[in-house]
Amino acid sequence: MILTGPRQFVRYRLFAAGLIGFCVANGPALPSLNAQDYPPDMARGKAVYEHHCQNCHGPTGRGDGSGAVSLKVPPANFQRFQSFLKSDEELLRTIEHGVVFSPMHAWRGQLTDGEMQDVVAYIRWLSEQTR
């Protein structure tokens, strides 16, 4: 049946409004990444950073690690104000999914959610050391 005329349009609008109301009342269909249920573990964040991130981002997070010289796209400098302005969710998303057309690859599947969130906390700590 093809919807034509004002009566069918009203039915369609009511159906759409009901569907939107159902979705709002029952929450999103896709699960979202939730914050940790416990405070970040800075020691674990530092250990994960030193093992996986320091080679490119450097020991102080300035993007001057030993592996950075061979990269065509420089690693993020966490001491720059632009990095400081990014939200924790943006940093977490970058760690999880990587950056297209850059050497920053996705860490999803190699690090746990907790480890990634601990690294974000450690990156925040590094960025505050020069302020």
Domain range summary for the chain, segments of one domain joined by +: 42-128
Q: Which listed CATH number (3.30.470.20, 3.40.190.10, 1.10.760.10, 3.10.20.740) goes with 42-128?
A: 1.10.760.10
Locus of tokens 């760690």: 95
Write down the pTM of the prediction: 0.70
Q: Are 119 and 111 in contact (CB under 8 A)?
A: yes
- State pLDDT tens for residues 66-119: 999 999 999 999 999 888 899 999 999 999 999 999 999 999 999 999 999 999
Type and span of the H or E element at 49: none
User: Taking Cα atoms as reference points, which of 53, 42, 51 lies closest to residue 114?
Assistant: 42
Report the chain's mean pLDDT, rounded to a whole number.
82
